[in-house]
Amino acid sequence: MKLIFRYMGKYKGAIFLAIFIKLIGTMSELTLPYILEYMIDTVVPSKNLGQVILWGLLMFAASVFCRQFNVMANKKAIYNAHKVSYDVRGDLFKKTANLSGDKFDEFSLPSLISRMTSDSYNVQSAVQQLQSLCVRAPMMLFGGVVMTLFMDFHLAMILIIMLPFLIGIVLIVSSKGIPMYTKVQQKLDTVVRIMRENITGIRVVKALSKTDYEKRRFSDANIEMARSDVKAGTVMAIPGPFMQMCLNIGLTLVVIYGAKRVDDGLIQPGVILAFLTYFNMITMGVMGLNRIFMSLSKASASADRIDSVLSADDEWVQEKEDYADSSDFISFDNVSFSYGKESKTKGAFAGGKREKAIDGISFSLKKGESLGIIGPTGCGKTTIINLLMRFYDVDEGVIRINGRKVSSFDKDELRQLFGVVFQNDMVFKDSLYNNIDFGRGISREEIESAVKDSLAYDYISELEKGLEYQADIKGANLSGGQKQRLLVARALAGRPQILILDDSSSALDYKTDAAMRRAIRENHKESTLILIAQRVSSVMGMDKIMVMDNGRCIGFGSHNELMESCSVYRETYEMQTT
């Protein structure tokens, strides 16, 4: 809840105004039964028509007044709640975008999505209720009790005796509800993950006739979440019937005891009617408190989940500048790395050895040189790129760019050095031009030049709107080869010092792949190129080639050198070319 109050503090003026308006509206509503009692017991018996009309108009005015103030307060509460949730989502998005690779893996994408959506909505609902229901419900409850005390102390004591029991059970049940709702949100993470996997891989699911299997998998996760939600909702619903029963018993006692006091001439009949109205208000107040505690239990669990992301340590620690005298532009010196928080903290898997994604990698590149990295799936090729761009920090060894440790760079300073195409990179629902520019303000001439160098011009020029052609989500209206050439154009457009192409030509035919690599070599000589590929033909023209297997470098040199010294490279070449 600290997170909720922290964000509400930014709008405390507007929130206090909404609370004040709600307070005035509720107070005017509390006067209605009192006015009614006075009219029945005093004004009507006087048979003064003018007084009856006057007090009737006063009661009507009070009704309109409380209605308008309550509506106004609710509107302001909704507006303030939306502003708070807007800030929460904005900060959560910024934090998520800057999470280190380890932290992102720790939270997981589905969980971050549910925190951004479901959890932030729960916070929004709580902020709204804190401004409206949290004012109205206690005022109805305690204000009603106070008003009844002024009217008849003996009848009011019936209500006062019940209040500690009602409030006690609400507090006890609410303390049980918060951890339950935390589990509900965790189950929701699983549902989101399965849903995302199925939406992303829907073609694979259909192609392998696994629709029914995935339906069952989703259904199982959905049922688990529903069970947790029902369990939490059932526990949180316990106070409702109990409070209603107590209030009904109290109402019965008020009618019976009140009738006796009227019969004894101690109170007027209008007091009984006013008491019944106040009793109804008190009932609404108690039920409102129950709703508040249910909402705040959800919001508290959600706020804790959001705060765990917002308060996560910034793992980008910029070290002091550290230079080494070297003519190399990029260098890896005995670099090792393993994924997973658990492996790093506990340091061991089965057998007592820590599994490393890469182990003891060393190589260097001059400015403008090209490096091809080849090896089987899972051998650590992409990990090298992740470490070079500092998505993760190395466990051992040193990585330098232009003689300077990557850990001494400012984040933006480092990332601006790169133009990169990752595996399964993203095409956004936007024009092809905006997909290439990506908000960098690159000139149209540079974009058109990049389009030609990536050979994307071949198909873009044939489109009716050219670069203004609108791509669908994930480039669904583009072929695999068209998307890859578009992504290469995006990487080239910024004229990067380091160009990284991670399996970016897998959907291209050999002729187009070769032509694109030739255009890049000729027109981007100033860029140091790192190309990851599965095909020997894609890397054999690179200045240097690194052959990887099981996280280790098993061969390094030019194509001719590797044909002589690396049997794995030679066998791969022969297998792919014969």
| Domains along the chain with CATH numbers | 2-310 (1.20.1560.10), 326-340+356-417+500-578 (3.40.50.300), 425-495 (3.40.50.300)
DSSP category for residue 143: I
pLDDT in tens, 134-182: 778 888 878 888 887 877 788 778 777 877 777 777 677 766 766 777 7
Q: Helices 49-97 and 12-38: crossing angle, nearest 10°?
A: 160
How far is C-alpha 47 from the chain's CA centre? 66
Query: How much is the pLDDT for 221?
Result: 83
350 vs 306, more confident: 306
pLDDT of residue 500: 92
Work out the pLDDT band at 489, boundaries 50, 70, 90.
very high
How does pLDDT run across 310-338, given as a tens digit for each residue? 888 766 677 777 777 778 899 999 999 99
pTM, full prediction? 0.69
- Statement: residue 50 has pLDDT above 90: no
pLDDT score at 182: 72
* Percentage helix, strand, coil for the chain under 3-state DSSP, each rounded to 5: 70, 10, 20
Q: What is the mean pLDDT of the chain?
A: 83
Mean pLDDT of 186-194: 77
* Highest-confidence segment of 6-10, 280-284, 359-363: 359-363
Task: For 191-247, give the DSSP string.
Answer: HHHHHHHHHHTHHHHHHTT-HHHHHHHHHHHHHHHHHHHHHHHHHHHTHHHHHHHHH
CA distances for 577 relative to 33, 348, 505, 546, 570, angstroms: 94, 42, 18, 19, 11
How far apart are the two ends of the chain, measured CA to CA in Å? Answer: 67
Task: Tell me the pLDDT band of 281, cut-offs 50, 70 and 90.
Answer: confident
Q: How confident is the model at residue 352 (pLDDT cuts 50, 70, 90)?
A: very low
Write out pLDDT tens, residues 411-461.
Answer: 888 989 999 998 777 888 889 999 999 888 999 999 999 999 999 998 998
pLDDT score at 558: 92
Give the separation between CA 123 and CA 120, rounded to whole angstroms.
Answer: 5
